[in-house]
Structure formats: structure tokens, C-alpha cells
């Protein structure tokens, strides 16, 4: 007796799309077992494992220890890059000399991506290069040796008027006085102001307030003191909270 119908569903090995990658990231964050994720998405476990490997990025905690986390954006961009590489050379591959130069300038010389890209363009150092925004995207996707936490916030000294007994005068980020006038227009998201809130009693905790100028979003972070070092620790907590998205969310940081 022959069977004309099968009750076993054939697994399809279609390429994942951006929405499915977002589902994978969300379920992994919720602790859903990988076997169930593959079943819910209707994909083979090997496909899921390969995708997780593709989109996993090393992150650095505020205590300088590392951990790994899957990001849908990283998986999608690496997938697209691999498809592009199968045909013609991508801009990323063509700009490898420039990429190595950027990595070295950030990790060893502690320069910012904007300063590095500007200098390379002014001096015409490379035949093929990419813009500052693309460098930040590469970092967010985990394509470079540089991590978001390697991008230093600028530390400046400035004199305080009419105030003799003060803490360390260093501030993290640009001073409000030196802020780009476009930031004052509140036309774009991602421009933040930092300030510290101190209670009336000496035993009250110190809070670091980060306020976004356009959406009026606020973060309050408890820090140990009203010092530049404590503020830096507070910013490190924000970096850990946002992970690879930090540079997109915090485009500029200014201090009062």
C-alpha cells in the first residue's frame, strides 16, 4: 500500500529577513530555548545557530570584562555584506587600508572617528575611504576591532566663575558654550545634556541626569560623587545599557 500524502512538514531553508532576525534577538533576550526559536520560526536549528554566530558581537562591561550578545542589525548587515562580496568587492573590502588606519588611530592614539576621517580626507591619504557615519555603523555591527566603549568622551578643563570651593573642574563632553548651534534648534534626536543632582543632606546620593533635548527623554543614574571620574562611571553604565546602539542614541553629550 503506497502513501500519497506525508504528514511530515518539509523544512525550508529560505534566507532570514530583517523581521525574523528581530524576532530571534527578542526571544534570545527573553531566554527562549534555541530549539523553540527554530520551531516557532519554521527554520532548521543549523540555520538558527549560523545566524546567531553571524550576528553575535563582543561587548565590554563598565568593569572592562567582555560578554557576547546577538544583535539583529549585525546579523542583517553581515548577511548583506556577504551577499555583496559574492558578486563585486564591497566598499568595506575596498577600504581595508583606511579601516586599519582608523582602528590604529582609535585604539593606540585615542583619536575620535570624526577627527581621523577629517584628517585622512584633508591630506588625501587613501584612494578609498568611508565617512564618519559609516565608521560608527561598522563599529556598531562589530566589523572592526574597535568597540563602542573604546570611543573616549572628551575631557576638558575650564574655569568656573564665582566659585572657589569646587570639585575637579573636568567635564565630560563638550561645554554648552562650545556646543554646535544646530543642537539648540532641537531638530534632531541624540543631543544630550549632563548635569549632577545633589541632595540637601551630605548623606544623600548624587544623581547623574542625562537629558535628551528633542524628545525630553531623561536618564537618572546614581553615582558615588560629584566628580569627573564618577560621571565617567555613569556614562559607562549608559554605554552598557545601550550596547552597540550607544553611538546612535548619544550623538553629542554636553555638560553645564
6 located within any domain = no
Whether residue 98 is predicted with pLDDT greater than 90 in this model: the reply is yes
- The pLDDT tens digits of the residues spanning 60-84 come to 676 777 788 898 888 888 887 776 6
Q: How far apart are CA 9 and CA 2, in angstroms?
A: 18
Angle (deg, nearest 10), helices 18-29 and 72-85:
140
Whether residue 8 is predicted with pLDDT greater than 50 in this model: the reply is no
pTM of the prediction? 0.35
Residues 159 and 225 in one domain: yes
Residues 128 and 48 in one domain: no
Residues 194 and 250 in one domain: yes
4 located within any domain = no
Cβ neighbours for 161, distance < 8 A, ≥ 6 positions apart: none
C-alpha distance from residue 204 to each of 37, 200, 225, 256 (Å): 46, 7, 10, 21
Residues 170 and 248 in one domain: yes
**CB 130 within 8 Å of CB 145:** no
**CB 247 within 8 Å of CB 145:** no
Q: Which of 54, 82, 110 is the last residue of a domain?
A: 82
Residues 22 and 78 in one domain: yes
Q: Which of 36, 53, 82 is the last residue of a domain?
A: 82
98 located within any domain = yes
Rg, C-alpha atoms of the chain? 23
11 located within any domain = no
Lowest mean pLDDT among 95-109, 185-199, 221-235: 185-199
Q: Which of 132, 150, 168 is the last residue of a domain?
A: 150
User: What is the phi-psi region of residue 56: left when phi exceeds 0, alpha when psi lies from -120 to 50, beta otherwise?
Assistant: beta
> What's residue 168's pLDDT?
40
**Highest mean predicted confidence (pLDDT) among 6-10, 83-87, 176-180, 213-217:** 213-217
219 located within any domain = yes
Residues 126 and 166 in one domain: no
12 located within any domain = no
- Higher confidence at residue 117 or residue 141? 117
Residue 103 φ then ψ, to 5°: -60, -45
Residues 164 and 249 in one domain: yes
**CB 44 within 8 Å of CB 14:** no
Task: List the domain range (segments joined by +) for residue 138.
Answer: 89-150
Residues 119 and 47 in one domain: no
Count: domains in the chain: 3
247 located within any domain = yes
107 located within any domain = yes
Residues 75 and 97 in one domain: no
Burial 198-212 (b: 16+ CB within 10 A, else e): eeeeeeeebbbebeb
Residues 160 and 141 in one domain: no
Residues 65 and 146 in one domain: no
Amino acid at each position: 500500500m503506497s502513501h500519497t500524502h506525508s504528514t511530515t512538514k518539509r523544512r525550508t531553508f529560505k534566507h532570514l529577513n530583517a523581521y525574523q532576525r528581530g524576532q530571534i534577538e527578542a526571544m534570545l533576550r527573553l531566554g527562549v530555548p534555541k530549539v523553540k526559536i527554530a520551531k516557532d520560526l519554521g527554520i532548521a536549528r543549523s540555520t538558527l545557530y549560523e545566524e546567531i554566530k553571524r550576528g553575535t558581537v563582543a561587548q565590554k562591561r563598565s568593569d572592562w570584562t567582555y560578554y557576547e550578545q546577538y544583535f539583529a542589525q549585525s546579523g542583517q548587515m553581515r548577511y548583506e555584506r556577504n551577499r555583496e562580496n559574492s558578486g563585486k568587492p564591497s566598499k568595506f573590502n575596498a577600504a581595508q587600508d583606511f579601516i586599519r588606519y582608523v582602528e590604529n588611530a582609535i585604539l593606540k592614539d585615542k583619536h575620535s572617528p570624526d577627527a581621523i576621517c577629517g584628517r585622512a580626507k584633508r591630506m588625501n591619504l587613501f584612494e578609498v575611504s568611508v565617512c564618519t557615519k559609516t565608521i560608527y555603523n561598522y563599529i556598531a555591527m562589530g566589523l572592526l576591532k574597535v568597540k563602542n566603549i573604546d570611543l573616549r568622551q572628551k575631557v576638558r578643563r575650564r574655569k568656573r566663575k564665582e566659585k572657589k570651593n569646587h570639585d575637579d573642574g573636568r567635564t565630560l563632553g563638550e561645554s554648552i558654550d562650545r556646543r554646535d548651534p544646530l543642537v539648540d534648534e532641537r531638530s534632531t534626536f541624540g543631543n544630550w545634556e549632563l548635569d549632577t543632582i545633589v541632595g540637601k543632606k551630605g548623606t544623600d546620593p548624587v544623581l547623574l541626569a542625562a537629558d535628551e533635548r528633542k524628545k525630553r527623554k531623561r536618564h537618572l543614574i546614581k553615582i558615588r560623587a560629584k566628580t569627573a571620574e564618577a560621571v565617567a562611571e555613569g556614562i559607562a553604565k549608559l554605554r552598557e545599557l545601550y550596547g552597540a546602539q550607544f553611538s546612535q542614541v548619544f550623538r553629542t553629550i554636553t555638560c553645564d
